[in-house]
Amino acid sequence: MVVKPPEFEQRLARGLEPLYVLGGDQPLLIQEARDAIVAKAREAGCDERLRFEVDGKFDWGTLESQGASLSLFSSQRIIDLRLPTGKPGRVGSKSLTALADRIKGGGESDVWIVSLPRLDNQLQKSAWFKALANAGVAVRFNDIPLAALPNWVAQRAGSQGVNLTRDAAELIAGRVEGNLLAAAQEIEKLALMDLEGPVDAARVAQGLANQSRVDTFALSDAILAADRERALYLLSRLRAEGTEPLLILWVIARDLRALVALAGNDQAGFKKTRIPAFLARRYQARARMLPASAWQRLLAGCAEVDRCIKGLGEGCNAADGGARVWALLDQVMLHASRPGR
């Protein structure tokens, strides 16, 4: 049976089942579901846990022998089987089908957790997956749509005692670009800061900027806010921390491509940048602050930085190319974050 996360949570609250199949490409959701099952199993006195990671050299015979053996410490164990590729191969397929048959026949006392990547149509049509789903509970963890991500961020923050305003939730959602693990980490940092009252975007940005390491996506905030002073400060911090110029250039160039597209009313071009739709208004407002030709020149400046990183530009030799790269990045950020007309 393939169920959605809410139904999985309800069933788990009622009691343990012998087999759980967890599928999705968000590591955070899979890990938290796995942790919940393990916690429930340990409440039931299941203390022993065996973990297997399936790769090209995995010995399925070892897994079968472990499944057939009895524990010296407990009548029930947790067997944590992880298939990162979702492709067990011919031998693995037979082994998983046999496992499903044993479970359906009541011949398994252990609790099995099988973790897979995204449950796409091809995977769900495989005989071994159908066998597992029929023998236990399969849970499909879909990605959180970008438009719904601010709500997810706000709810998760609230569960940790952090009251975020809408703009603060949107800021965090925009920074992590759909990576739920990164969003959870940002929320944990805010929870540790013990901020009182509703936390707005300005307080989130300030708090994150004051941490020991600077997030390269904070540069986007400085560009959108036309905050030259903060832009150059962040750039200097990133340089001091040894951040690769290529990573910084990627962030700046992405933003400039978006601004060029919006300045030219090219919605298709903006979508290609993969910037969340709920941030479109901020980018649109910023695009209107400078002529389209100005954004184009800045994007051309990024191309010059890229050539310098590769050692192809004037003054970008191996001896002092690093200094020239950072000087060019300073110039791009200085103009990209200048106030509008």
Mean pLDDT of 182-198: 81
Instruction: Output the pLDDT for position 18.
Output: 93
- Going by pLDDT thresholds of 50, 70 and 90, the confidence category of residue 250 is confident
Angle separating helix axes 228-240 and 321-336, nearest 10 degrees: 160
Instruction: Output the pLDDT for position 21.
Output: 96
What is the pTM for the complete model shown?
0.60
Give 228 or 177, the one with higher predicted confidence: 228
pLDDT by residue (tens digit) across 294-306? 999 999 999 988 8
Residue 142 has pLDDT above 70, yes or no: yes
- Going by pLDDT thresholds of 50, 70 and 90, the confidence category of residue 34 is very high
Residue 93 has pLDDT above 90, yes or no: yes
User: Burial code of 243-268, b = ≥16 C-beta within 10 A, e = fewer?
Assistant: bebeebbebbbbbbbbbbbbbeeeee
Residue 144 has pLDDT above 90, yes or no: no
| Beta-bridge partners for 80 | 51, 113
Give 262 or 315, the one with higher predicted confidence: 262
Report the percent of the chain where pLDDT is more than 90. 38
Mean pLDDT of 165-179: 82
Averaged confidence pLDDT in the chain: 85
Q: How many residues does the chain have?
A: 341
Residue 71 has pLDDT above 70, yes or no: no
pLDDT by residue (tens digit) across 202-242? 777 766 544 434 566 778 888 998 888 888 888 888 888 77
Residue 124 has a CB neighbour count (10 Å cut-off) of 14
pLDDT by residue (tens digit) across 108-117? 778 999 999 8
Could you give the angle at the alpha carbon of 128 between the alpha carbons of 125 and 133, nearest 5°?
A: 80
Whole-angstrom distance, CA of residue 40 vs CA of residue 111 = 11
Instruction: Output the pLDDT for position 184.
Output: 86
SS3 177: coil
Whole-angstrom distance, CA of residue 37 vs CA of residue 48 = 13
Whole-angstrom distance, CA of residue 327 vs CA of residue 230 = 17
SS3 145: coil
Give the full edge-to-edge strand order of the sheet including 48-53: 2-3, 137-140, 19-23, 111-116, 77-82, 48-53
Instruction: Output the pLDDT for position 211.
Output: 47
Helices (H), the chain: 5-14, 27-43, 60-68, 89-104, 121-125, 127-135, 149-159, 166-176, 180-193, 201-209, 218-224, 228-240, 245-263, 267-272, 280-287, 292-309, 321-336
Instruction: Output the pLDDT for position 313.
Output: 67
Residue 107 has pLDDT above 90, yes or no: no
Domains observed in the chain: 2-140 (3.40.50.300), 144-211 (1.10.8.60), 221-341 (1.20.272.10)
Instruction: Output the pLDDT for position 207.
Output: 60
Instruction: Output the pLDDT for position 215.
Output: 64
